[in-house]
Amino acid sequence: MEKYHIDDLDKQILNALMENARLPYAELAKKFDVSAATIHVRIEKMKTAGIITGTHLAVDHKQLGYDVCCFIGIKLSNAGDYPEVIEQLRNIEEVVEAYYTTGQYSIFIKIMTTAIEELQWLLIDKIQSIDKIQATDTLISLQNSINRDIQL
């Protein structure tokens, strides 16, 4: 597949959709002074190229009772253990993000829980009990001051 090169109009469309994915094509067309068909074609091309991978609903987790957000750095016993550990972490619903990293941690994960006590038992019963995990470091988030997409 040939790489799709985005231009200024594509960037404008992406920025607008990242701000509000529910914008109608007609509204985007009016905003950027092109036809709705042009917007449709551009969006379809970016979907085909894998630039647009879907849309999502933004939820305020605190409103649902998930008041504790933390990040856990995981040291593996062996770098080759990564695939197996990721599969086990995937089965823990409180793990909402996972990254394979360089530096002192092999894996860095983001966890959301409803209470510190839940985090404690999650660490003891589910995460630190994974055999291939050598050690963990937990950082509790006090505030999420910046949460945005990249602007093009």
What is residue 149's predicted lDDT score, i.e. its pLDDT?
A: 86
- In the chain, the domains with their CATH numbers are 8-48 (1.10.10.10), 61-141 (3.30.70.920)
What is residue 118's predicted lDDT score, i.e. its pLDDT?
A: 97
What is residue 10's predicted lDDT score, i.e. its pLDDT?
A: 96
d(C-alpha 114, C-alpha 10), whole Å:
40
What is residue 1's predicted lDDT score, i.e. its pLDDT?
A: 55
- Minimum mean pLDDT among 11-20, 50-59, 89-98: which range? 50-59
The mean pLDDT value for 58-75 works out to: 94
What is residue 119's predicted lDDT score, i.e. its pLDDT?
A: 97
Mean pLDDT of the chain: 94
pLDDT band, very low/low/confident/very high, at 58 (cuts 50, 70, 90)? confident
pLDDT band, very low/low/confident/very high, at 57 (cuts 50, 70, 90)? confident
The mean pLDDT value for 110-124 works out to: 96
Span 72-106, pLDDT tens digits: 999 998 989 999 999 999 999 999 999 999 999 99
| The length of the chain, given as a count of residues | 152
